[in-house]
Chain A
Amino acid sequence: MREPRNPFRLRRSESIDTETAFLTLFEPGILEVVSTEGFWETVHILRSAAGGGKTSLIRLFTPNTLLTLCAKRTDERIKELYQRMKDLGAVNDVGPVVLGVMLMCGPGYSMMHDLELDQTRKDRLFFGLLNARIVLAVLRGALLLKGLEYPDGLDRVQINPIPGGSGIVGLTLPCSGKVLHDWAEQREAKLCSSLDSLGPLNVDSLPGDESLLSLSLIRPENILVDGKPVAERVVLMMDDIHKLTGRQRSLLVQTVIDARSPVGVWIAERFEALSTQEMLSSGAHQGRDYEHAIEIESYWRQKPDRFEKLAMKVADRRVQAAPDTEEIGSFKSCLQDALDAPEWNDTFISIIEVVSNRIGERVKSQPRFQEWIALRDKTTGTLRERAVAWRSLEILIERELGRKQKSLFEAEPLDEDDLSQRDDSSVNNAAELFLAREFDLPYYYGPERIARLASLNIQQFLGLAGEVFEESAAALLLRKPTALPPRRQHALMKKVAKAVWEDIPKRVRHGRELRRFLESVGKFAHWYTYRPTAPNDPGVSGTAIRMSERALLVDDAYRKNKEDVCRFADILASALAHNLLVAQLDYNCKKEKWMVLNLNRLLCVHFDLPLNYGLYKERPLPTLCQWMTRSFTAPTNEDALL
């Protein structure tokens, strides 16, 4: 493989071929998502949408990565990560102290579920194959950790008996690593070749197990290399659990929890593994068989600022890893961050004139606003700030004019205090958004907004930042300024958002219907946001249903014979699984609890919406169901709708 021209394009951990490159690009702050409490002993469920960072996290604890981490501990780019891993207890001054074994749970298991056998036999086959694969992965990991050749070094491995007997058919303990390996290899070969034969399937003599016996076998004290325990701890990290069937997944998780093994077990899965019912319950732990699932996006949702800072650090590492771009230095250097440069002066002078004239025209017969207008005339600041201030004033005047319940002192002039009470950063943000739309100004630019556009997903962020870096690096090559102007950044974000939007039917299950629904959400949010009074300033980026309505979506009795409700539940689950909608449960408002559904921020770009989360305008469930087939159209009579 060649040197990466644009390291942002290496969006997957697997695309990074050397451990050094992986460690250099890994931002230690990502470790924040895992709790240090009971870190090594308990079962951890890691869950996210695709690209959330599960596989990278797992790779960090594998033998090759840990060995490289220890070897490069003095490297400036790796030092911090080494210290964090040391604090976690994964390494010490001598080297790695944990044997982390990564096991991919590919789709090979799911076919067992379809065999014409009784369920007990199918479960036995599942455990039989899983036990063999766990043993093989652990033995290979042990040799890697000790720097021994695979499989030649197996003779130096000894497997101690399990207290209470082996319980594994065809295996007598203690035995050498070689014996255990041969047992597992033969078992796996027999199962795989039978299940996948060119001819009809014959399952009569296939081996299986009652349970996940391998967990007892791979305890650290049971695996000796040259007479010494292989490591202080063993961690089994099972990735791609979503490829198992629902029953296999539940069986595995429950068995692992029940086993209470000293071997740490991590189970990583994508949201898509969850059924519609589970997906719509995600975030509310009632009825779950475990309590400590780490949902990566949910974790960052509590700390969005931390994520955005982390994203910038991730980006800086990528910039520094790019060849021949030392001059760029950091990701922020790729981005101009404001519209205060002289080339914007004429535009803002013109905007101020247009908006102030518009206000004058609107309230010319109403002296009560004259003081507000006079105050705005005296506003100081950059031209951009003054333009925003004028547009804010226009919104505030619209609100005053639109108030239904008139006060006793309606004719009283409004003074400076009244203005300062009403004028705040939210109105200013709404004004900035309005100006961008009305005067074709860039809005989606600058490091802060681009980090927000990631919607708390690192892969999405790398995609966006990669587009920016591509142009910045090209500019460097052409000896032009590397900081992209806001208009170009805005255009790039729009382009990516459009591509994501157009790809939805292709990439996502129920994609066409889902896109129709999202289009309605987007159009509705757009219409509501850009009302002259800017309600819910700076604007809404989604909708909401009552928690009681959400409960109906997963209530079998209610769903019965309601095709549209079932369909909507599936579509909603699909949108949540793919991070196209972001749900916030139990949101208290108007003395009720709500399930808020915000659009992925990249979709907000498509609909010219603000990038805040949490603000919404609720709609009843039947309306959302209608939106699957009938797109939202802005009403002629606003009051009738709201």
Chain B
Amino acid sequence: MTAVLENVHMRWRNYILVRDGEFSSFWKAHFAERTRSVLFVCGKGFDPRTCIALRTIAELANGALTETMALVFDESEGTLTQDLREKAASNWKEMEGLIVGKGLSTSHKITFRTADGRRVGARNAADVFKEEARISTFSDIIVDISAMPRSVYFPLIARLIYFYDELKRKQKPAPNIYVVVAEDPVLDCQIREEGIDETASFLHPFEGEFNREATGQQPKVWIPVLGEGRTTQFDRIYDLVKPDEVCPVLPSPSRNPRRGDDIVMEYRDLLFDQLRLDPRNIIYSSEYNPFEVYRQIRKAAIQYHDVLGLIGGCKIALSALCSKLMSLGVLLVGYELKAANSLQIGIAHIECQGYDMPDSVVPNPQPVGLWLAGECYG
């Protein structure tokens, strides 16, 4: 698995990313172009951004909205406070209003834990779509990740892109795949995770290669994308990965120009005293653009692979301790390099039992859309 990376096609070198005002105009033009059959997948969650993207798309779809699938999260006992449950119910009520009379409304339950308390959400999320036939009837599939946890949207999107690739490989019609999110990095920071799991794990389907004992002697490089309030998660994921080299990714440029510095201050004990990080390892990437995150991480991963390939190769672990938008860059690198079978890559992740969202939160979201696979890529 060494010295073949120059052949790996950079899938998202050119990309389509729309935000703010462009978001509406893009969908308007898109739906006006031809008759479409859209599957909209969203989470039935408490996040105040839950309905923003659906509001725009339902309004502009002009009958193209064939099915809206709500993912219902069965998080087991005591995960959400009563307040958050009420917020989730209120969001759902609004969503029902938005899609009434606009195609089929379905729901799919994702169980997060087994009876003995183990996490199985990621595998169940991937299995929301078990076969290609389930998606091949649509022209467009839009996944709104605004109210989904990472352990759901990472495997779900990976599976959709995989099916897309398989359909294309078999020269069958394949739907366009989009991801939309109401982006608000400030809000992402204010929603605090509680009851963080004691141990981290690799997210399905980004685990197997990283854990192989046969390559246990290879150095491990960890590239975590950092965000505020996640030092405990960082510490526990470090415990899982046990990296030889750490390359943290900081947001820059960002709405708050000092954000990267603030994050360094928050993580300074971990980064500089415990890990003795060389500051030259820090990678900067735009807070606004997941494709830029993808580009930077991909470049670093490939460089490490090439250099350490001379002494037998390396393993790369990625982690998203950041906003949802930036985390998509991690997913794209993970998918591309795993699908190409070009290096041993894993996505290390940790989940939590619940969330705490202050009442004072005033969301200031910007809708963002990413076109990940489909006709625009030829």
Q: Are B275 and A195 in contact (CB under 8 A)?
A: no
CB closest chain-A residue, reference B203: A196
- Residues of B212-271 contacting chain A, CB below 8 A: 212-214, 216-217, 232, 239-240, 242, 244, 269
In the complex, are the beta carbons of A111 and B123 less than 8 A apart? yes
Which B residues lie within 8 Å of A181 (CB)?
A: 214
Interface residues, chain A, CB within 8 Å of chain B? 1-6, 9-12, 14-15, 17, 50, 103, 106-108, 110-111, 113-114, 132-133, 136-137, 140, 150, 181, 184-185, 188-189, 192-193, 195-200, 240, 242-243, 245-246, 270, 272, 275, 503, 505-513
Q: Beyond A140-B216, A243-B199, is A14–B273 a contact (Cβ under 8 Å)?
A: no
Give chain B nearest CB distance to A407 CB in angstroms: 55
A149 CB, nearest partner CB in chain B, Å: 10
Contact indicator A192/B208 (Cβ below 8 Å)? yes
Chain A residues with CB under 8 Å of B196's CB are: 506-507
A198 with B205, Cβ < 8 A, contacts A12-B239, A106-B211, A510-B353 known:
yes
User: In the assembled complex, which residues on chain A have CB atoms less than 8 Å from the CB atom of B102?
Assistant: none
Residues of B within 8 A of A200 (CB): 127, 130-131
Q: Flag if B211 contacts A242 (CB, 8 Å).
A: no
Would A503 and B232 be within 8 Å (CB), given that A196-B209, A197-B205, A245-B118 are in contact?
yes
In the complex formed, the residue of A with least CB distance to B122 is A111
B278 at the interface (CB under 8 A from A): yes
Cα(A57)–Cα(B232), bound, Å = 24
A510→B232 contact, CB < 8 A: no
Q: Establish whether residues A196 and B205, one from each chain, have CB atoms under 8 Å apart when the complex forms.
A: yes
Q: Which residues of A contact B353 (CB under 8 A)?
A: 509-511
* Alpha-carbon gap, A242 to B278, bound state (A): 33
| Contact B274 A198, beta carbon cutoff 8 Å | no
Q: Which of B9-17, B62-70, B158-166 faces chain A?
A: B158-166
For B274, the chain A residues whose CB sits under 8 A away are: 9-12, 15
Minimum CB–CB distance for A148 against chain B, Å:
13
Among residues of A, the one whose C-beta sits closest to the C-beta of B211 is A108
Point out the residues of chain B lying under 8 angstroms from A150, CB to CB.
Answer: 217
Residue pairs across A and B with Cβ atoms less than 8 A apart, 18 shown, are A1-B278, A11-B274, A17-B244, A108-B202, A111-B123, A114-B118, A136-B216, A188-B212, A188-B213, A192-B208, A198-B159, A198-B339, A199-B162, A240-B199, A243-B199, A243-B201, A270-B198, A506-B194
B276 touches A512 (CB 8 A): no
B338 CB contacts on chain A under 8 angstroms: 198
Chain A residue at minimum C-beta to C-beta distance from B165? A198
B76 to chain A, nearest CB (A): 11
Check B195 against A14 for contact (C-beta < 8 Å): no
CA A181 – CA B275 in complex, angstroms?
33
Tell me, yes or no, whether B116 is within 8 Å of chain A by CB: yes
Docked Cα-Cα span, A510 to B269, in Å, equals 27
Q: Which residue of B lies closest to A566 (CB)?
A: B77
- Looking at A107, A132, A189, the one whose CB has the most chain B CB atoms below 10 A away is A107
Nearest chain-B residue to A8 (Cβ)?
A: B273
Given contacts A2-B278, A198-B158, A510-B353, A192 and B216 within 8 Å (CB-CB): no
Q: Are B194 and A511 in contact (CB under 8 A)?
A: yes
Query: How many angstroms between the C-alpha atoms of A198 and B158 in the bound complex?
Result: 7
Question: A37 vs B45: C-alpha distance in the bound complex, in angstroms?
Answer: 56
**B298 interfacial contact with A, CB 8 Å:** no
Looking at the assembled complex, report how far the CB atom of B121 sits from the nearest CB atom of chain A, in whole angstroms.
Answer: 11
Residues in B with CB closer than 8 Å to A196 are 204-209
Cβ 8 A contact of A9, one of B118, B166, B209, B269: B269
* B188 at the A interface (CB under 8 A): no
Contact status B276-A2, CB under 8 Å: yes
Residues in chain A near residue B207, CB distance under 8 A? 107-108, 196
Bin the interface of chain B by size: 35 or more
With a cutoff of 8 Å between Cβ atoms, the chain A residues found around residue B208 in the complex are 108, 192-193, 195-196
Contact B239 A107 (CB under 8 A): no
Cα separation A507 to B232 with both chains bound (whole Å)? 7
Q: Bound state CA distance, A113 and B120, in angstroms?
A: 10
Determine the chain A residues whose CB is within 8 A of the CB of B339 once the complex forms. 198
**How far is it, in angstroms, between the C-alpha of A272 and the C-alpha of B149 when the chains are bound?**
24
Q: Which residues of A have CB within 8 Å of B192?
A: 506
* A-contact bits for B117-145, CB 8 A (1 contact / 0 none): 01010010001001100000000000000
Interface presence of B184 (CB below 8 A): no
CB of A242 within 8 A of CB of B199, answer: yes
Whole-angstrom distance from the CB of A428 to the nearest CB of chain B?
Answer: 38
Complex-state Cα separation, A108 to B240, whole angstroms: 12
Which chain A residue has the least Cβ–Cβ distance from B158?
Answer: A198
Q: Which residues on the B side are within 8 Å of A199 (C-beta)?
A: 159, 162-163, 166
- Alpha-carbon separation in the docked complex, A592 to B205 (Å): 54
| Cβ-closest chain B residue relative to A563 | B77
Contact between A103 and B193, CB atoms less than 8 A apart: no
Taking a contact as CB atoms under 8 Å apart, the answer to whether B199 and A107 are in contact is yes
Complex Cα gap A137–B217 (Å): 10
A193 to B205, CA, bound (A): 9
Q: Which residues does chain B contribute within 8 Å of A184, judged by CB atoms? A: 214
Q: Does B101 contact A (CB under 8 A)?
A: no
Q: How far is the CA of A184 from the CA of B338 in the complex (A)?
A: 22
Contacts of A242 in B (CB 8 A): 199
Given that A189-B212, A192-B209 are known contacts, is A106 also in contact with B240, CB under 8 Å in the complex? Answer: yes
Query: Which of A11, A243, A272 has most chain B Cβ within 10 Å?
Result: A243
Pairwise interchain contact A50-B162, C-beta atoms closer than 8 A: no
Tell me, yes or no, whether B90 is within 8 Å of chain A by CB. Answer: no
Residue of B nearest to A2 (CB): B276
Please tell me which one of the listed residues A6, A106, A509 contacts residue B273 in the complex, with CB atoms under 8 A apart: A6
CB pair A506–B193 under 8 Å, yes or no, is: yes
Known: A200-B130, A511-B194; 20 extra A-B contacts, CB below 8 A, are A2-B276, A5-B272, A6-B273, A10-B274, A11-B274, A108-B207, A111-B204, A114-B118, A137-B216, A140-B216, A188-B214, A193-B208, A196-B205, A198-B158, A198-B338, A240-B199, A505-B194, A506-B194, A506-B195, A512-B195
Interface assignment of B114: CB less than 8 Å from any CB of chain A: yes
* Residue ID in chain A nearest B270 by CB atoms: A9
Report chain A residues within 8 Å CB of B209. Answer: 192-193, 196
Q: Are B198 and A510 in contact (CB under 8 A)?
A: no
The verdict on B356 contacting chain A, using a C-beta distance below 8 Å, is yes
B169 to chain A, nearest CB (A): 11
- Judge whether B242 and A14 touch: CB under 8 Å: yes
CA distance A51 to B378 in the complex (A): 53
Residue B78, interface by CB 8 Å: yes
Q: Which of B194, B213, B214, B232 contacts A512 (CB 8 A)?
A: B194
User: Contact at A50–B198, with CB atoms within 8 Å?
Assistant: yes
Which A residues are CB-close (under 8 A) to B240?
Answer: 106
A103, B269: Cβ atoms closer than 8 Å? no
Beta-carbon nearest neighbor of B114 in chain A? A114
Q: How far is the CB of A319 from chain B (nearest CB, A)?
A: 15
Asked whether, in the complex, the Cβ of B217 is within 8 Å of the Cβ of A140, the reply is: yes
Q: In the complex the two chains form, is A246's CB within 8 Å of B202's CB?
A: no
**Pair A133/B213 contact, Cβ less than 8 Å:** yes
**A88 smallest CB distance to B (angstroms):** 26
Complex CA gap A38/B250 in Å reads: 52
For window 300-334 of B, CB contacts with A under 8 Å fall at none
Least CB distance, A85 to chain B, in whole angstroms: 24
Contact with A along B100-120 (1 / 0, CB 8 A): 000000000000001010101
In whole angstroms, what is the CA distance A507 to B127 when docked? 30
Give the distance to chain A from B229, nearest Cβ to Cβ, in Å.
Answer: 9
| Alpha-carbon distance A605/B63, docked complex (angstroms) | 64
B209 to chain A, nearest CB (A): 6
A188 to chain B, nearest CB (A): 6
Nearest-CB residue, chain A, relative to B166: A199
List residues of B (172-211) whose CB comes within 8 Å of A's CBs.
Answer: 192-199, 201-202, 204-209, 211
Asked whether, in the complex, the Cβ of B78 is within 8 Å of the Cβ of A510, the reply is: yes
Residues of B near A11 (CB, < 8 A) are 274
Task: List residues of chain A with CB within 8 A of the CB of B278.
Answer: 1-2
A501 CA to B128 CA, complexed, in Å: 40
A15 to B356, CA, bound (A): 32
Least CB distance from A373 to B in Å reads: 52
Cβ of A185 and Cβ of B232 under 8 Å apart? no
CB nearest neighbor in A for B229: A506
Closest CB of chain A to B207's CB: distance in Å? 5
